[in-house]
Amino acid sequence: MGKVEQLWRHGLSRRQALAGLVSFLASSPLLNAQRDPWPLGPHRRFLGFDEMRDVFDFEPLFRANVPLSVYDYTAHGTESEFTLYRNRDAFDWVRLIGSGGVNPSDVDTSTELFGHRMASPIMLAPTARQRDLHPDGELGMHRAATTTSTTMIVSNVSSFPFPRIADAADGPLWFQRYATRELEPNRVALDAAQEAGAQTIVVTIDQQASYYERDLHVRHLGGAPRQVSRRTRPDPPNPYRVGAGRLWYEWQLFDDLRPLCEVPMLAKGILTGAGAKKCLDHGVDGIIVSNHGGRALDYGPSSLEVLEEVVEAVGGQVPVLIDSGFRRGSDALKALALGADAVCFGRASRWGLGAFGEPGAQKVIDILNAELKQAMATAGCASVAEIDRSIVTTSFP
């Protein structure tokens, strides 16, 4: 048999050639293709609903269920993502001191904020566009929150109007607002939310000029041009997509918004004692210590390590809440011991909704509350009122 015949004998079949061509086209950046960079590895299967033991169990299934662009939107932090990882590292710098003597079934996690009784200091942080995670979106999240007696903060950029979310269930809702320079859009949004039953208004003042390096290097965001609907604005004309929509923020904003709020008004995004004092000077009724989940300022502090500074500056005049990086009930206990009045979870609740819909979101909340009770019992705290600085030691760098 000649050389040509040997090549023909061992060469690709027509079927193999077509399969190779299809694979090439499927991965082509020209087709804005999606890739899966997270194979299952040695596990071979995803955990089932009844096998979920902590909120981290939900993330792989969430990642598998949603488009890569949606996962990256949920996961990314600003620039190098230093602050994103520092948020989690900070929990290693706070150690719980166990004294025991309390049965977890006897632990009372109830608390009170702004005159409203809450079953737990664990709350749902505002996160955007939840319908991208599951068709029920914020409607399912609100039902899950109501079932677990959890207060939910609804994002300014939710998938559904606030009144429709409020109609989906009876549980307590707060409304988060990205303020506009023009006063009238703020008035319209705040009036609609308060008329629908918003118990507080949360004004976010961080994330003023962020960009996400992770997004600059992925095809599904940086490849083919995206369609722009009439309701969305095109990306800013710079390679980092840094918008200028909130670069105008000044403390006067709270003076302007105060007359529009018939309910308590909170400032979200405070990371210094000086900033907390400024909030008090401008009539803010509460503070949320937050770095936007690591999406605001790269190489900034974690929210947990500056919590005590903010609490000290406030001096008990208004409630202090916190978010950014929280994944476990024991994380919440550490923040409560350092002076927080409540703790907000964002990504964790998104993982639950994206993995299993409303039941998944509900299970995430149940797991977090069960973990909080167990941690409180181990620390010897039978109620939220008994949680204090004595149950933790810190070694912040």
In a domain, 41, yes or no: no
HSE, CB side, 13 Å, CA atoms: give it for residue 195. Answer: 9
**pTM of the predicted model as reported, rounded to 2 decimal places:** 0.84
Q: Say if CB 173 and CB 199 are below 8 A apart.
A: yes
pLDDT of residue 222: 44
Residue 354: name the closest of 134, 124, 67 by CA.
Answer: 134
In a domain, 245, yes or no: no
In a domain, 64, yes or no: no
Question: In the structure, what pLDDT confidence band is assigned to residue 244 with cuts at 50, 70 and 90?
Answer: low
In a domain, 149, yes or no: yes
Tell me the angle at which helices 347-356 and 58-65 cross, rounded to the nearest 10 degrees. 60
φ/ψ of 383, rounded to 5, equals -150, 165
In a domain, 180, yes or no: yes
Percent of the chain, pLDDT > 90? 74
The residues near 182 (Cβ < 8 Å, ≥ 6 apart) are none
**Total number of domains in the chain:** 1
CA torsion, points 192, 324, 270, 126, in degrees to nearest 10?
A: 0
In a domain, 188, yes or no: yes
Question: In the structure, what pLDDT confidence band is assigned to residue 248 with cuts at 50, 70 and 90?
Answer: confident
Amino acid letter, 77: G
In the structure encoding, which two tokens stand for residue 261, read together? Answer: 């709020």
In a domain, 348, yes or no: yes
Q: Say if CB 108 and CB 384 are below 8 A apart.
A: yes
**pLDDT exceeds 70 at position 50:** yes
292 is catalytic: yes
Average pLDDT of the residues in 329-356: 98
pLDDT of residue 214: 72
Q: Distance between CA atoms of 394 and 93, rounded to whole angstroms?
A: 6
> pLDDT (tens digit, 9 = 90+) per residue, 183-228?
999 999 999 999 999 999 999 998 665 667 776 666 554 433 333 3
Helix (H), strand (E) counts: the chain:
16, 12
Q: What is the 3-state secondary structure (H, E, C) of 309-372?
A: HHHHHHCCCCCEEECCCCCCHHHHHHHHHCCCCEEEECHHHHHHHHHHCHHHHHHHHHHHHHHH
In the structure encoding, which two tokens stand for residue 5, read together? Answer: 């015949």
Q: Say if CB 317 and CB 280 are below 8 A apart.
A: yes
φ/ψ of 98, rounded to 5, equals -90, 135
In a domain, 354, yes or no: yes
Question: For residue 239, how far is the Cα from the chain centroid?
Answer: 25
Question: In the structure, what pLDDT confidence band is assigned to residue 297 with cuts at 50, 70 and 90?
Answer: confident
Higher-pLDDT residue of 27 and 264 is 264
Q: Say if CB 129 and CB 158 are below 8 A apart.
A: yes
Residue 307: name the closest of 322, 293, 319 by CA.
Answer: 322
> pLDDT (tens digit, 9 = 90+) per residue, 105-118?
999 999 999 999 99
CATH code of the domain containing 264: 3.20.20.70
Q: Distance between CA atoms of 190 and 195, rounded to whole angstroms?
A: 8
Percent of the chain, pLDDT > 70? 81
Q: Which residue has the tokens 């903060």?
A: 153
Q: Distance between CA atoms of 345 and 94, rounded to whole angstroms?
A: 18
Q: Which domain holds residue 155?
A: 69-223+251-394
